[in-house]
């Protein structure tokens, strides 16, 4: 599609290893997907799934073994493409002898920003990431969260149309994560395309228009977070508490047998078709219903399912190989 | 090319803010002071002692900086991953490499200039005047700079594809081998196989010829240094350095930054 901000076709990456680099390990296999213009796309997967490999290929830090990708219609090998992208590396580290202002000024010069515009842009970015008071402190004295913020500032310094963030919430405290989330949402409001990798599932569910799930170097699914989770949606969860008198009856005791007690509260899982009958029974026993929630498999469970399937497949291959 | 300059200035700033650098310069100034003392007790040959010791100090400190900082130019950026954010910007890999090379060269030039000023101050202190012949030391200093440029290029090349330790060993090894190219060309003897003699002769032309850059003795003794040698060394350093840098760029442009 011509409108896609990022278009990836059959992207494959093998890394050589061994003493003479004669063997290769496949880190990414035939990745084909696209990120639409203006959307926030979450790239999800467990560690070692191929998320960073994909991102490094996109920003030109590594070179594909096969396949190709285009960003805003330009091939990733085209250096002019880099003018329109911003990139935050995973666990970013910058020249520690520079201050935040000096680092941003350096990158602004690389982007050919000049004079007053350069200074204004640097000031604006430092303010945006909340580092204006720490602008003259050398980066060696920065905490991990502050470095992450500097990393974000340098990624969006030049007003890129596509922003690629590798694990932007990694290692941040809840406040830091919220700040990064706010910046991503602001980028979305400004109409920019954001691709970010993460294994923090709630962040992806909260921010993403669509997510792509990758495991073992292969893409396992692309869609809205709900769609992906919906693959394994099942059952309802009832949260209730029982009054002291009612809890001692035989009927309530039978119900309690299928519920899990946490403090004074009970949690019960039932099939959707049995929900109303169970609620009636609970009410008859004098239970007070606190909440009813549809149970969805979390993305974490989705990952676990994928990994288990991979292991089962690998074991099957081993057995048949013998 | 503008980005080459931006990277070069940042490399220069890094070197200036590196405290190790000041230790080296302090050590060089200490050697100059020693030259003054030794010169004062060497009646009649003060100039020879001061110029020899001073130029040796400039060369040695320059070499240490060229090898150790040169090897770290690329490998340190890869180890610390400072390179990642930079190369995702519109910077070509050759621009990065040339910028790093230029930045260190600028650092070496300024350090060499400062140490040369120290050398001439020492000479003036002992002789109470400077003569035309003292200008010969400037030619020797220029040759030292050319030599350092070649060493930086070699260090950069090795650091593009091997570990820092091996890159130091390879650079230092090539430098030492390059001091003996004339001997390698002149090897004759009944005990050595003709094939080996031919191999050594060919090898001597491939190795960087650092012997030609050493005119310290001439400068110290006030002997004339031919203009042809200045031109020859300049052309040689530029061509050899360019070939080494092209090789470095070729390797680095294909390297995956994992």
- Report, as an integer, the average pLDDT of B181-198: 78
Residue for token digits 């929630």?
A293
Q: What percent of chain B has pLDDT over 70?
A: 98
Exposure string for A306-321, b = 16+ CB within 10 A, e = fewer: beeeeeeeeeeeeeee
pLDDT in tens, A226-274: 777 555 557 888 998 877 665 566 776 777 788 888 888 889 988 888 8
Q: How far apart are the C-alpha atoms of B101 and B146, rounded to whole Å?
A: 13
Exposure string for B207-219, b = 16+ CB within 10 A, e = fewer: bbbbebbbbbebb
Which of B81, B85, B87 lies at the smallest CB-CB distance from A60?
A: B87
Nearest to A54 by CA among A96, A91, A87, A98: A87
Which of B2, B82, B91 lies at the smallest CB-CB distance from A95?
A: B82
Q: How far apart are the C-alpha atoms of B40 and B36, rounded to whole Å?
A: 6
Residues in A touching B85 (Cβ below 8 Å): 87-89, 92, 94, 107, 151, 154-155
pLDDT score at A322: 42
- Check if the beta carbon of residue A193 is closer than 8 Å to that of residue A27: no
The C-alpha of B86 sits at a distance from chain A's nearest C-alpha, in angstroms, of: 7
B1 touches chain A (CB under 8 A): no
Q: Which domains does chain A have, with CATH numbers?
A: 4-96+142-230 (3.40.50.300), 236-294 (3.30.70)
Residues 6+ apart with CB under 8 A from A133: none
Residue of B85, B87, B103 best to disrupt the A interface, most CBs of A under 10 A: B85
pLDDT score at A321: 45
Helix (H) or strand (E) holding A71: strand A66-71
* CB burial of residue B139 (10 Å; 0-12, 13-18, 19+): middle
B256 touches chain A (CB under 8 A): yes
The C-alpha of A271 sits at a distance from chain B's nearest C-alpha, in angstroms, of: 48
The A85-88 sheet, strands edge to edge: A85-88, A162-166, A193-198, A40-44, A210-215, A218-223
Q: How far apart are the C-alpha atoms of A109 and A105, rounded to whole Å?
A: 6
pLDDT score at A203: 81
* Residue A69 main-chain phi, psi, to 5 deg: -145, 155
Q: How far apart are the C-alpha atoms of A52 and A68, rounded to whole Å?
A: 16
B257 touches chain A (CB under 8 A): yes
Q: How far apart are the C-alpha atoms of B233 and B237, rounded to whole Å?
A: 6
Per-domain boundaries in chain B: 2-253
Q: What percent of chain A has pLDDT over 90?
A: 49
A79 touches chain B (CB under 8 A): yes
Residues in A touching B258 (Cβ below 8 Å): 15, 56, 62
Measured on CA atoms in the order A94, A99, A103, A104, is the torsion positive or negative?
positive
Nearest to A7 by CA among A40, A31, A43, A42: A31
A142 touches chain B (CB under 8 A): no
Q: How far apart are the C-alpha atoms of A236 and A239, rounded to whole Å?
A: 10
pLDDT score at B236: 96
- Beta strands A74-75 and A66-71, pairing class: antiparallel
The C-alpha of B171 sits at a distance from chain A's nearest C-alpha, in angstroms, of: 22
Q: How far apart are the C-alpha atoms of A193 and A70, rounded to whole Å?
A: 14
A196 touches chain B (CB under 8 A): no
pLDDT score at A29: 92
Tell me the two tokens of residue B15: 């070197």
- Check if the beta carbon of residue A5 is closer than 8 Å to that of residue A35: yes
Query: Cα Rg for chain A, rounded, in angstroms?
Result: 25
DSSP category for residue A107: H
- Check if the beta carbon of residue A275 is closer than 8 Å to that of residue A235: no
pLDDT score at A144: 86
> CB-hemisphere CA count at 13 Å for A15?
14
Q: Which residues of chain A fall below pLDDT 70?
A: 1-2, 229-233, 244-249, 252, 296-300, 312-322
In three state form, how does the secondary structure of chain B look?
A: CHHHHHHHHHHHHHHHCCHHHHHHHHHHHHHHHHHHHHHHHCCCCHHHHHHHHHHHHHHHHHHHHHHHHHHHHHHHHHHHCHHHHHHCCCCCHHHHHHHHHHHHHHHHHHHHHHHHHHHHHHHHHHHCCCCHHHHHHHHHHHHHHHHHHHHHHHHHHHHCCCCHHHHHHHHHHHHHHHCCHHHHHCCCCCCCCHHHHHHHHHHHHHCCCCHHHCCHHHHHHCCCCCHHHHHHHHHHHHHHHHHHHHHHHHHHHCCCCC
**SS3 state at A29:** strand
Does pLDDT of B206 surpass 70? yes
Does pLDDT of B44 surpass 90? no
pLDDT in tens, B153-163: 999 999 998 89
Q: What percent of chain B has pLDDT over 90?
A: 51
A103 touches chain B (CB under 8 A): no
Under an 8 A CB cutoff, do A94 and B85 touch?
yes
Nearest to B70 by CA among B162, B157, B174: B157
**Would you put residue A42 in left (φ > 0), alpha (ψ -120 to 50) or beta?**
beta
pLDDT in tens, B56-85: 989 999 999 999 999 998 999 998 999 999
Of residues B36 and A54, more confidence is placed in: A54
Q: How far apart are the C-alpha atoms of B211 and B105, rounded to whole Å?
A: 21
Q: How far apart are the C-alpha atoms of B97 and B87, rounded to whole Å?
A: 11
- Check if the beta carbon of residue A54 is closer than 8 Å to that of residue A48: no
Least confident of B160-164, B181-185, B230-234: B181-185
User: How far, in Å, are A15, A256, A266, B216 from residue A259 at the CA level?
Assistant: 50, 5, 6, 92
- Report, as an integer, the average pLDDT of B184-199: 78
pLDDT score at B118: 85
Return mean pLDDT, chain B.
89
């Amino acid at each position: 599609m011509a409108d896609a901000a990022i278009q990836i076709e059959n992207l494959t990456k093998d890394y050589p290893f061994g003493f003479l680099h004669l063997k290769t390990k496949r880190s990414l296999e035939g990745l084909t997907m696209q990120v639409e213009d203006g959307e926030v796309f979450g790239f999800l997967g467990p560690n070692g799934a191929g998320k960073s490999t994909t991102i490094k290929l996109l920003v030109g830090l590594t070179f594909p073994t096969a396949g190709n990708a285009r960003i805003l219609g330009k091939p990733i090998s085209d250096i002019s493409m880099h003018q329109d992208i911003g990139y935050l590396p995973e666990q970013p580290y910058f020249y520690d002898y520079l201050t935040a202002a000096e680092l941003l000024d350096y990158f602004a010069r690389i982007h050919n920003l000049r004079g007053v515009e350069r200074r204004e842009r640097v000031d604006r970015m430092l303010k945006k990431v909340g580092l204006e008071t720490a602008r003259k402190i050398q980066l060696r004295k920065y905490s991990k969260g502050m470095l992450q913020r500097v990393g974000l500032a340098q990624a969006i310094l030049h007003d890129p149309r596509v922003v690629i963030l590798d694990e932007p919430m990694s290692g941040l405290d809840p406040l830091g994560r919220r700040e990064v989330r706010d910046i991503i949402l602001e980028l979305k409001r400004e109409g920019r395309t954001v691709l970010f990798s993460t294994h923090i599932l709630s962040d992806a569910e909260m921010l993403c228009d669509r997510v792509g799930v990758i495991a073992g170097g292969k893409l396992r699914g692309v869609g809205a977070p709900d769609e992906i989770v919906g693959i394994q949606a099942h059952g309802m969860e009832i949260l209730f508490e029982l009054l002291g008198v009612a809890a001692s009856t035989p009927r309530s005791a039978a119900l309690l047998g299928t519920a899990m007690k946490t403090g004074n509260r009970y949690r019960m899982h039932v099939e959707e078709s049995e929900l109303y009958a169970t609620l009636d029974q609970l009410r008859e026993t004098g239970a007070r219903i606190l909440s009813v929630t549809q149970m969805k498999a979390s993305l974490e469970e989705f990952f676990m399912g994928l990994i288990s399937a991979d292991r089962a497949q690998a074991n099957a291959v081993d057995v048949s190989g013998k | 090319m503008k980005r080459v300059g931006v990277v070069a200035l940042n490399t220069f700033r890094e070197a200036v803010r590196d405290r190790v650098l000041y230790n080296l310069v302090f050590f060089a100034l200490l050697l100059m002071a020693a030259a003054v003392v030794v010169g004062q007790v060497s009646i009649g040959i003060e100039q020879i002692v001061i110029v020899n010791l001073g130029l040796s100090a400039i060369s040695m400190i320059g070499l240490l900086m060229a090898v150790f900082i040169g090897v770290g130019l690329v490998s340190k950026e890869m180890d610390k991953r400072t390179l990642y954010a930079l190369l995702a910007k519109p910077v070509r890999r050759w621009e990065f490499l040339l910028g790093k090379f230029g930045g260190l060269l600028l650092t070496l030039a300024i350090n060499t200039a400062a140490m040369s000023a120290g050398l001439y101050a020492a000479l003036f202190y002992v002789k109470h005047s400077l003569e035309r012949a003292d200008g010969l030391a400037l030619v020797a200093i220029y040759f030292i700079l050319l030599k350092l440029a070649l060493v930086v290029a070699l260090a950069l090349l090795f650091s593009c594809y091997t570990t820092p330790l091996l890159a130091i060993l390879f650079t230092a090894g090539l430098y030492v081998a390059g001091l003996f190219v004339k001997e390698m060309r002149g090897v004759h003897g009944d005990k050595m196989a003709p094939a080996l003699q031919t191999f050594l002769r060919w090898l001597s032309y491939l190795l960087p010829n650092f012997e030609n850059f050493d005119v310290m003795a001439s400068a110290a003794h006030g002997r004339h240094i031919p203009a042809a040698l200045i031109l020859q060394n300049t052309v040689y350093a530029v061509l050899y350095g360019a070939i080494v840098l092209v090789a470095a760029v070729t390797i680095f442009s294909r390297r995956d930054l994992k």
